[in-house]
Chain A
Amino acid sequence: MKTSVTTRDVGDVKAIDLKGKITIGAGDVQMREAIHSALNAGCTKIIVNMKEVSTIDSSGVGELVGCYTTATHKGAKMKLENLPAKISDVLTVTQLITVFDVYDNEQDAINSFG
């Protein structure tokens, strides 16, 4: 599966769709740039759709953490949705699954913004 990072608008929410590997030298920087671009454009509600992520490594996890911190500092909220089991496991072993706001599907993630 080829790595890609695309964005779309769902009302006032910016959805970032990740596909393939979010790993060092591959999708990690693309993901960060997409999220930072949304934040710099003034977006305060971001959902990261991980449904089609096949692999994430420590670099991808680190970028997720960095983006989450940046979003929080800017007064925005970043949430994760549709985590495949393997991606959830990677976040669970480092106890980050409890740090991120994680939702099973996009509707729940959008509704959570209130």
Chain B
Amino acid sequence: MTTLEGNPPGPIVLWLASRYENIELAQAALDHVCRHAGVPSEDEHWIGIALREAVANAIKHGNRQDSTKKVLVSFRREGDDLLIVVGDEGEGFDPVHIADPLAPENQMKTSGRGIFYIKTFMDDVAFSRGETAGTVLTMRKSLKAQQAKGA
């Protein structure tokens, strides 16, 4: 983990091997960021769910659990927002073709809810192609309302 000096903390960047246990490292970094940013624990929980889903997707669907491929996770404050970026080294995917988990025909499926949870718990979510390969997920959460609630 690399951190830059500053309060609130500067960017935090992690490069994780594609193993599920490393989701806990991403969660630990988020806990650190949220503690410094004064994010109430209730909101930290939901941001954490979104982060866990994003990293799990990068490991499972992006890097196909190839532990030699890395998952990038970065945290950055931008004004009142927390910006989280999760990138993989996979072949990329088209977010347009994600099935709606609320559709009756999908309700009893055992998968396909991760991105829905990310979109539900974050304020803004965008997918793009990585510079060389893979998918980059950028998600944003406004901390202004959260900090006001926690005050």
Same assembly: yes
Spell out A's residues near B (CB within 8 Å).
23-26, 55, 57-59, 61-63, 65-66, 68-69, 86, 90, 93-96, 99
Within 8 A of A (CB), among B88-120: 101-102, 107-114, 116-117, 120
A interface, by DSSP: helix, strand, loop or mixed? helix
Contact A58-B53, Cβ < 8 Å, known A24-B20, A93-B117, A93-B120: yes
Q: Which residues of B contact A23 (CB under 8 A)?
A: 23, 52, 56
Q: Is B69 an interface residue, CB under 8 A from the partner? A: no
Contact A25-B23, Cβ < 8 Å, known A94-B116, A95-B107: yes
Q: Which residues of B contact A69 (CB under 8 A)?
A: 108
A66 to B108, CA, bound (A): 8
Q: Which residues of A contact B23 (CB under 8 A)?
A: 23-25
Within 8 A of A (CB), among B57-83: 60
Is A58's CB under 8 angstroms from B108's CB? no
Min Cβ gap A3→B in Å is 11
Is B56's CB under 8 angstroms from A57's CB? yes
Q: Which of A26, A57, A90, A99 has the most CB of B within 10 A?
A: A57
Q: Which of A58, A63, A93, A95 has the most CB of B within 10 A?
A: A58
B31-71 interface mask toward A, CB cutoff 8 Å, 1 = contact, 0 = none?
Answer: 00000000000000100110011001000100000000000
Q: Is B5 an interface residue, CB under 8 A from the partner? A: no
* 5 A-B pairs with the lowest CB-CB distances in the bound complex, closest first: A25-B20, A62-B110, A58-B113, A58-B114, A66-B110
